[in-house]
Amino acid sequence: MHINCSVDPCPLILSSSCVFYEGPNLVCTGINNNESLESILEKLNNILCNISTGSGILNLTAISPITSSGRTTPVISTLMASNKLMGRSTSGDGVMEEISLGQGLVFNGTTLDVTVSEVFQNDIVVSLSGGKTLGKYTNGQTIPSAGLTFEAVMNDIAIEYLTPLFTLFSITSSSATVESGTIISGSNTFAFSILYSQNVNLNSLSIFYESTTLATGLAVVSPATVNISPAINLVGNGTTYNFKGTAVNTNSVTFTSANSTVTSRYKQFFGNVATTFPTNSAEVRALAGNNFANVNSWVTPVVSTTKFSFSIPDTKTITSVITANFENITSSFILSTFTVNDAGGNPIGYKTYNYSSDLPLNLTLTITVS
């Protein structure tokens, strides 16, 4: 041992192994009562060396859920079950505890998400006085709220569904009244208008002739063009042929237009005759004037020749022929009968009435039939 004293004589020098600590045990450093100074210094030295070299703490006691492996250089860790949060539910201060996730909460990776919204358990019956309303609902009506979220119920109350409907539907490529024998075929156009069209599904338009589907899956855009095949032959006097449209609203309900009706009619023919009276279909159809057979009274152009003729379907009868001077010349007309073809070449029975005079009348005639 090297001793360097600055005084003479040198005081008593003891070995560190012969000097002892007489205090209480020191838990953190591991120093105990009656431990030699030499041992104490060694322990302190080890602690300082371990700290400086990163070897860690010599010993640690921990309480769940924080745990320690204990022993020399302990490992500090937390041990938790999955899908738990850290907190404390027990009253008063204390250690942390595991907290379970409640209804509607879920981990999405490391993020806590809300997955379930609260919903109404029952429908709501509106009970109001004095003519008050709750949105679109009136007193006594039931709001179908069971199973819906608050937001969904509020949307239902505040937003009234506007049910779409056709306000117009028409086949524009044909007149409403046509001559018997007319054929509808090929490309035809249909005009339509829909109220609240924003609530109509796209490409849900269908067009029908009677019960026959002409086209389906059309865009709900007017006008619509449809190819009609096979051809529709319109025959008869007063026979109706109906077209209609349908579409599907956003509630998946099909709604239908009113019919667009085309009526076929026989024609009535009339006019001045230059030389001989008509005796066949072609000559009758060549007369200058005509109208549909649902017309029972009409005024002719001025009779500027000595001969005049008119033909009507044989289901009709002459009632009177009156001149512009109010002279009744009905009895002066001579009847003959033969067939006259309609627009499709179908022969129809007709009555032809012929008038002849020495001089042109130069008057109009009012013809009445029944």
Cβ neighbours for 245, distance < 8 A, ≥ 6 positions apart: 166, 169, 190, 192, 205, 206, 207, 208, 224, 256, 257
Taking the C-alpha atoms of residue 342 and residue 236, their distance in angstroms, rounded to an integer, is 9
Instruction: Return mean pLDDT, the chain.
Output: 89
Write down the pLDDT at residue 326: 96
- The 3-state secondary structure of 184-232, one letter per residue: EEEEEEEEEEEECHHHECCCCEEEEECCEEEEEEECCCCCEEEEEEEEE
- Residue pLDDT, tens place only, 259-312: 999 999 999 999 999 999 999 999 999 999 999 999 999 999 999 999 999 999
- Please give the Cα distance from 37 to 43 (Å, whole number): 10
pLDDT tens string 304-363: 999 999 999 999 999 999 999 999 999 999 999 999 999 999 999 999 999 999 999 999
Q: Do residue 223 and residue 282 come from a single domain?
A: no
Q: Which two tokens stand for residue 267?
A: 């024609």
**Domain annotation covers residue 84:** no
Quick one: average pLDDT of 167-179?
97
Q: Encode pLDDT of 201-240 as tens digits.
A: 999 999 999 999 999 999 999 999 999 999 999 999 999 9
Q: Note whether 338 and 288 are same-domain residues.
A: yes
Asked whether residue 192 carries a pLDDT value surpassing 60, the answer given is yes
Which residue range forms the structural domain that includes residue 289? Answer: 267-369
Q: Say if residue 141 is in the same domain as residue 202.
A: no
User: What's CA 11's distance to the chain center, in Å?
Assistant: 107
CATH of the domain at 259: 2.60.40.10
* Structural domain includes residue 102: no
For 20, the token pair is 């002892």
Number of domains making up the chain: 4
Residue 204 falls inside a structural domain: yes
Regarding whether 301 and 246 lie in a shared domain, the answer is: no
